[in-house]
Amino acid sequence: MVAGPELISPKSTRVAAARRLGKRNFRTKERLFLAEGPQAVREAAGHSSEGEATLVELFATVEAAERYADIIEAAQKAGARVHLADETVIADISTTVTPQGLVGVCRFLDTPFEQILAARPRLVAVLAHVRDPGNAGTVLRCADAAGADAVVLTDASVDLYNPKSVRASVGSHFHLPVAVGVPVEQAVQGLKDAGVRIVAADGAGEDDLDDELDKGTMGGPTAWIFGNEAWGLPEETRTLADAVVRVPIHGKAESLNLATAAAVCLYASARAQRRNAPRP
C-alpha cells in the first residue's frame, strides 16, 4: 500500500518550480520540461543520455502510484525524486484538462545536429516552419514509427518541449535523436554533404510520390522536409530540395493534413529502403 501524499499544497516550492515549466522561457532557462501520463513517464524513466538519467523528478497521485507501481519503481531506480501528491497538486502542475495522475520533470534531450550527421542517417524528417505543437509531436511519432534515424526542427519551428508536442509524441521524444533550432539552409546543406537526398513534401509538387516509388528513387538516404500547416513550404525552401513531391489524392479530399502526409511519405521511404537493403 502506498503511503499518503507528501506534497499537500500547490504552494510548495517543488510544485511551483514544476508548474513554471509550462512556459517556454522557464523551460529554456532550466533546460527541463514536463512529461505527462504513464506512457511518456515510463519512457522517460528508462531513458538516459551520456550516462545521465533523463527523468529527474516525478509527481504522482496515490491512486496513480498504486496503478503504475512499475513506473514508480523505474523512476526510483533512475534516481528521480518521487513525490506522492494530492490530486489538486497534480492538476496545478499539469497542462491537461484531465490529468492522468503522473507528471515527470525531464532534462532536455535534443541532439546536436553535427552528431546526427556523423551517424550517417538514412531517413530524416525535417520540420520547417511547423508552428503547431500537436502536429510537431505527431510527426515525431510518425518518424519514430517509420524507423527514421532522426528529426530536425528548424529555427522557425515550434518548441520541441511544448507540452502539447510532448503529449502528441506519446513517448517518441525519448526514442530517436532530435536536433532543434537549425536554420533550414544549414540543415539541407549538412544533410546533402552527408549523402542524403532532400525531398520536399508539397501538395503542389511537380513529382508524384507513386511515380517516385515506381522509378526507384526513394530507396536511398532521404530527408523529407515538411512545411507549415496552413501555407506549406515557401519557395526559397522548395528550391533547396532535390525534388518536390506531392502525395497523390485519388479521392475527392481537398488535401491531407500535415501529420497524415508525413506518415505516408516516411513510410513510403522506409519501405523502399528496406526493399533495397542487402539481404543477410
Average pLDDT for consecutive 10-residue bins of the chain (280 residues)?
56 90 95 95 93 94 93 94 90 87 95 96 95 94 97 93 94 95 96 97 90 92 91 88 93 89 96 76
State the pTM of this model: 0.90
d(C-alpha 250, C-alpha 232), whole Å: 20
Q: Answer for the pair 142, 241: CB distance below 8 angstroms, yes or no.
A: no
d(C-alpha 102, C-alpha 99), whole Å: 8
| Predicted local confidence at residue 8, as pLDDT | 61
| Predicted local confidence at residue 96, as pLDDT | 84
Domain range summary for the chain, segments of one domain joined by +? 13-107, 113-276
- The CATH homologous superfamily of the domain defined by 13-107: Ribosomal protein L30/S12 (3.30.1330.30)
| Predicted local confidence at residue 280, as pLDDT | 47
- Range list of β-strands (E), the chain: 32-36, 48-49, 52-53, 55-60, 81-84, 102-107, 123-127, 150-154, 178-182, 197-201, 207-208, 222-226, 243-246
Give which of 220, 167, 229, 155 is closest to 191, Cα–Cα: 220
| Predicted local confidence at residue 278, as pLDDT | 59
Question: The domain 113-276 is classified under which CATH number: 3.30.450.40, 3.40.1280.10, 3.40.50.1100, 2.60.450.10?
Answer: 3.40.1280.10
| Predicted local confidence at residue 97, as pLDDT | 81
Sign of the CA dihedral 163, 169, 175, 177?
negative
At 162 the three-state DSSP class reads coil
